[in-house]
Every structure is written in structure tokens, then in C-alpha cells.
Structure 1
Amino acid sequence: MADELRQGPNAGRTLPAERDRYADPETGAQVTRLTSDPDADSRHLYFTEPGWYDDGRRLLVRSDRDGTQQLYSIALESGEITQLTDLPAEISGVTRVATEPTALCWCADRLVALDLESLAVTPLYELPDGYTGSIAAGTADGARAVVALSEELDLEGRSNDREQWIADRMRAGPHSRVISVPLSGGEPTVHVEEDRWLNHVNASPTRPELVTYCEEGTWEDVDRIRALNLETDETWLVRPTDDDEAVGHEYWLADGETIGYHGWRGGRDDPEAFFGHVRYDGADCREWPAPDIYTHFHGNTRKLVVGDGTYRSAPFDLLWEWDDDADEYRTPRKLAAHGWSGDDDVHPHSRLSPDGNRVVFDSSRGGTGSDVYLVEIPDDRDELPAFEGVAE
């Protein structure tokens, strides 16, 4: 790689807690606002990525509090904030390697590994000219980083309409690859290469040979959820879609064999929204009604699922609890308000903690920019108000 990548003097500095606790006025659930710097935009990792570490005592967050986006850690007991990176360019695409005290991220055009204990940074791979990289994924054995690379096109940034930009880029068919890079150092392996927009790799947390990646685009026009066996390079569609169906926002459950997602049937103007779970090989596909198509879902197991609600009349986290006797989900419960107000507003990207007792989400409700919130799930979920509505 061209130049050595060094941490600046702020790596490892600690900042005082910014947290504030309150009871959600509608549900009574206990909420902790973890960040509150009025001049900063702070967010937890994307909802597919495992941000908790140190046996659940710390949470990774991204923040631009010094003018450039860097990685921070919040000690959940004290609220103290530690800056983990002070790199010469903004970091992006952050994930954590499940079996190691290691985070992966992009620093400009370099994929790097960060030791979360020593804060040492190791460059792993440099993007070829004219390509962008997806959020990284760390394999379950901690051996490899897997990413999707996609060709940059002249239309980049041309349209202020995000949906139109996505459609234009999809139709252009940018050259893409899915590659893996050894964390111990070495040359990358190309596993998939196509002239279509490939994006967002997610690694099974238990099966080191399994990852998903997506065919990116407007969901109605792609078969999005694809799986890859890194040992054989075999690829397959996980949840194929009919002409009137769309699915996406895929993530792995904790067993490393089940994939969650959501989607809809029909058109966007009058959709039949649903969320679902399917085995990585396409077996045992089950789906249930969702309040809207504009949302995200996450669960560690089928027993409990959190959804973002929707900015269309349900701006709060919702909990679905599985009823073994009825073999179905109970009526969802409101957990906490996040105030998500539109596609241009901060998306909650809600995610359950590894122990299933808390939910982290982002929100702009505290002022300008985004802050990170953590809400406790009551032991008796019947204390929470039921959500009976359907988004308009």
C-alpha cells in the first residue's frame, strides 16, 4: 500500500458521558440517550452490523464531533466515550469481527482492520481506481474480510432524487466483484464478478463459509438476496421474488443459518407489506404482516423481533413476540418513540442487543443531526401498549 496509515493523537482519548435517561412518555419504557453533542452527528453501526463488544459492555458508534467521521466506543455502564480512530480520512462501512476484538472499516480507499484493544490499524486492501466498496463483513472464524466492489459511474451524484439515482445506477449495470481478503495479510480472492450492481455483504455469525450479498437496485426490479459459499464460489438466490414481489434489508439471525428480511406484494402505492425469515438455502420460508414497506427489522432469534415502525404514521420501535401455543406472532407492542419523520430524516436502524434485553436506535428527535439511543425491553412486555394500526 502507498503510505503507512497512522493514528493521530486523539485515538484513545476519553470524553465525559453525554447520556440522559427518561421514561418514554407513551410506553413507559426506560430510554437512555447515549450521545448529545449538539454539533455532532452520531450513529450506531448499520443495523446489520454487530456493534456491541467487550461482553456487551461497550457499543461502537460513528461520530463527526471533530469535523470528520471517526469511530468511538461508549461504555454502557458509565456512559464514558472513547475515541477509537483518529485517521487522516473519514471512516465508513464499519463492522465488527464476531470472534475477535477487531473492527473493519474503510478509510478513504483503504480497507483496514482496527484492534479494539490496542487501537493498532492494519491496512488490508486498497480499492482499484474507479471503484467503491461496500460495508465490510468479517467471517465467523475471524479469518477473512469480505466486501463488494462496484464501478463508479458518471451518474454518481447527478440526481437529487435518491430512488431515481438507484434506478439509473442499477440499469447502467456497473462492473462489480465480491472479494475476500485475509485478515492476516495476503492477496484478495475474487469470488463473484458480474456486470450488475452488487453490494452489501453480510457474513453468517456461525458459518465461516457463508455470506449473503445483494443485487442492488429498486427492489421491484431485482432478485436481491443472494448467498455465496466462499469455499466453492457457488452462489444462489435465497428468497426469489415473483413479478409482484419485492424483498430486502436482509440480515443474519444469531444461529448463522436463518436470514431475516422484509418486503411487499403489489405496488408501492397499495402494498401488502410483510417481514420474514428463511433458511440460507431457501428452505423454511415464513412471512408475517408488517405495518409498512418503509422500515427495517432485526432479530437474534424468531422469538423476538424489533421493527422500526415507519415514518408513515408509526414513528416508534415495535416489538413482535412469538407465541409458541398459537404458532404465530402476537400483536406487536410499541417500545419507544423515535420520531422518524421521513426518508430524508435519520433512519432508526433499530437492532436488538445480543442478550435481547435492549434495542439501539438513531434519532434526530433531540435536535439537529443524529444521536444514539438505547431502550430497555420490559420483562413483562404486556405492559407496553399494543400497536393495532396500519400505516396509511
Structure 2
Amino acid sequence: MICRKRIKDKNFQENGGKILKNQRVRIFSEAELAKATNNYADDQKLGEGGFGSVYKGVLTDNTMVAVKKSKGMDKAQMNVEFQKEMSIVSQVNHKNVVKLLGLCLETKVPLLVYEFISNGTLSKHIHDKGSRILASWTNRLRVASEAALALDYLHSLADPPVIHGDIKSVNILLDNNCIAKVADFGASVLMSPGQTNILATKIQGTLGYLDPEYLMTGILTVQSDVYSFGVVLVELLTGEMPNSISKSGEKRNVIQHFILALENNHLFKILDFQTADDGEMDEIEAVAELAKGCLNSMGVNRPTMKEVSDELAKLKALHQKSLAQQNSEETDYLLGESSQSFCKNASPPMDQSQTVISLQIENYTNSN
């Protein structure tokens, strides 16, 4: 028992416990998180990545959390990865970025504790046809706009700026209000002020979403995130993963198929949802053109994340204005129908001349 406590204390010190105790994050004990996750039971596992697995947990105060536990890899390497991710997530603060709640330093490799995001991944809702969250264009456009806002924040407003490095639909989560939150900073890098790229020691990310320029040069840039986000936009529009299987059973390049459909004015044929009217189709085409720009093979020719975010915010505002106008027209129509119905059921008003004659006859009768 004493030996085990010494090991925990040693891990705590080696993992920077003295310094981290002064940070604005909660320090959890190993026992707390083991209890919260039912000893990391398989049925508590939310997902798995290159860094490790994420488990759902419930703290003693009934707060739900997501605990990121590393794989059994080289401790020195895992500590480097942990320190990098912790230094990033402890500094970012945005409504569309998953929040770090705390960490555990008593384990061989520290554990990260995040807020629990109840509705799971964007990927799940795109590809699970039983989900109704993305049934409308309204929600797809809003989710795209919120995710873009988070990336714009990371590139332009975070201090220091951050390249996410692994943007994909699995790393965008939806909370109980279906608000989008960008997650998983295991492949992310911090940049110095004014820096826009970094030479990667190893290629990280997910095939299909990876910037081809990054794959060729090994240089990760903010525009690499823009490319990956363009792939997510295509996924939102078509409902297909980057490397999917066609109905004939053949592998096909979804990106090339998408661009070809857009250029041949066949976009409506590959959409994954029903459009309400021509106004929505105009918005969808604008988003498709934006996605095409993000997917340019040369990073220098892609829009910045700020430009992408601003364009999506503008389209979302126009969409909301259009919805408000439609609702107003429907209300006016229903009120008009109700008014006509009331008039049909009411007695017709008496003519003024008839009223005078009636009074005269009544007076004559009474006088006699």
C-alpha cells in the first residue's frame, strides 16, 4: 500500500503536479476516475484514436465527463503527447471547442478529463440514417458555421494560435442542444506569433481528410485545416465519407465525384437530404462552391478559415431571415383564413337605412 502511494506520488511529481496544481483545472485522483468509469469498462468506451481511448464517466456529484486514457505505449513519448495536448486545451476557451475540466497525474501517463458531449459525433449523425438531427438544411448549415467559427478562433484568436491537424466529422461533436464542438487535439500544434506552418516530424491525421500538400511536403499549415474542413463540408452535403464504396461496390474518390457534379450542375443529384425550396438550393450551391475552394490542391489558393467562417455566417444569417419571413407569411395567411371563417359564421350587418325604417315603424306602432 505504501509502495503504491509512493508510485502515485512519483508519477504526480514527474507529470508536473506542483506546477499544474496552480492551473485553473481540477486535479483528479486515479481512484476517482476509475470509479467514475467503472474501471474503464468496455461499455463505457466512447471512442478510440491514435493517442488512446475515451471513456464516459460519472463523478460523485453526477457530473458526466469524458476521460481520455492513453494506450500502453512508450511513457516518454506519451508524456510528450500529453503535455502538448494539455498545453493546447488548457489555453483555448471557446463555446465551440470541447472544454478541458481537469486531469489525473497519479497514473504512469496522465489522464485528461473533458466535458461530456451527449449527442456524440457529427459523423454518427451524417451516416446513421435513423438520426433526424441533420434531416434539414437548417441544422447542417448551422453545424458547419459553428465548426468553422471554432477553427477560425484557433487560427486567428487563440494565443498562441493552433493548427488542429486532424479535422474530420468524428472530431466534431454535438451537445444536447446540437451545438457543434471541435474536439481531439492529439495531432494539434501550437504556433509562434506570425508563424503559419511547421515542419512535422511525422505525418499525423486521417487519410481522406489529410491535405495532399501536407502529405507531399511534410509541412503542416493553417491551410491544411482548411482542406480538411472542405472534406467535412462535402460529407455534410453528400452524406458520403471521403473514401466510400459506390452502389456498384467500387471504391470511388468522393471529392472528385463531388467537384464533377458541381461543375456539371448535377449537385442536386448527390445531396443527402431534402431541400425545402429554391432559396435553400442557392445556399447549398454557395456552400458547395466554398467547399470546392477549400479543396484546392494548393494551400495558397484556398480561403482562410476566417473567410470560410464569415461566408458561412453570412449564409446562415440569410437563411434565418428567410425562415423568419416564411413564418411571418404563414402566420398572416392563417390569421387571414381565421378572419374569413369568422365573417362567414357571423350575421351580416344590417343596412343603416333599414335600421331607420325599422325604428320609424316601431314608433308608429307604439303611438297607435
TM-score (norm 2): 0.28
Higher radius of gyration, 1 or 2: 2
Higher-helix-fraction structure? 2
Structure ranking higher in strand proportion:
1
TM-score by length of 1: 0.27
